[in-house]
Amino acid sequence: MKVSQAQFEHWLASLKTLTDNDQYSITMPTEVAIGQSIVLTLDEDVLLTLSDYDIKQDVQFNLGASKQSGVFIILAGELDMTINEDLHACIKSSSAGIFIADANRYQFAYKTGKLRMINFIAPAHLMQKLAEQYQLLPTANPKNNLWLMPINGEILNIIEQIDHCSMPKAAKLLYIKGKLLELLSTLFEWLHTQGEISGKGMANTVAQMTQAAAIMEAEMQSPPTLFELARRVGVNDNKLKKAFKQVYQQTVFEYLNTKRMDRAMALLSEPGCSVKSVAHEVGFKHQGHFAAKFKAAFAITPAQLLKQMYK
């Protein structure tokens, strides 16, 4: 799932409508990054941060011994996170990470380029209880844990509900806190129902599936076979099928069809297009096959859509 720069800026502006007592901004030195983070204090141990930066050079932050728990949602760019030098993950664009840690050292690194991120710091006791109830805590290292998952429509819907809230300030703060707790529950429920991609290879597997999804979307006109796709991302075809379904709740080709239909709808909305040219652009050799898939997705044929748009 992707979020546009305009939508993200709208979220930032929405947070700024709250009083200075509830929020503050953070900037980096201009030689390092241009942009800011808006930090909103919802409770004594509940913080929401929206960050929007153009990182000019790779940057790394270190944090000393402390208990940390919360969620990172990466909308653009990527975050490298290391806990005690033995637990590491790269949280890439369109991915989320839940972490619960009581460590001596934390390291956060950002690469050059665009960074758009939502960071929600939650009470440690609440995070621990949720992880225990969903039976996610390993017996080997129950103190320091990190789980990764993709951003899906349900997660974005909660964020958009926060954005569209028009309540007065005091009510809005309570509403945002409630929605963030709902977001937290949604993420834990996803881990529980979809099955954690676990072990040291967890972060790498999510990254491989993210890469596979990006390849299919970019090459939708002539997509690779499952075998070729698996080879390109460094897994076998059986692991690709299983892990991709875990991460995206769709098979590889269901995902491809969704992206093709989304792209087709966008192209058909542009002046001067034809059904034939759009079908070819999104990877269909036969116009009839394309029309059938489009109607299954949107309950209207491409020709009917064009007729309605240009009456």
The CATH code that applies to domain 5-196 is 2.60.120.10
pLDDT at 250: 86
Which residue ranges does the chain devote to CATH 2.60.120.10?
5-196
Confidence of residue 291 (pLDDT cuts 50, 70, 90): very high
**Distance between CA atoms of residues 286 and 284, nearest Å:** 6
CA atoms within 13 A on the CB side of 105: 10
Residue ranges of E strands in the chain: 23-26, 33-43, 46-55, 59-63, 66-76, 78-83, 87-92, 95-103, 106-110, 113-121, 145-150
8 Å CB contact between 129 and 142 = no
Q: Give yes or no for residue 234 having a pLDDT over 50.
A: yes
Q: Give yes or no for residue 182 having a pLDDT over 60.
A: yes
Choices 1.10.3720.10, 1.10.10.60, 3.40.50.300, 3.20.20.70: CATH for 206-309: 1.10.10.60
Confidence of residue 139 (pLDDT cuts 50, 70, 90): very low
pLDDT at 5: 52
Confidence of residue 138 (pLDDT cuts 50, 70, 90): low
Which residue ranges does the chain devote to CATH 1.10.10.60?
206-309
Confidence of residue 292 (pLDDT cuts 50, 70, 90): very high
In 3D space, the residue among 121, 6, 28, 146 whose CA is nearest the CA of residue 75 turns out to be: 6
pLDDT at 202: 57
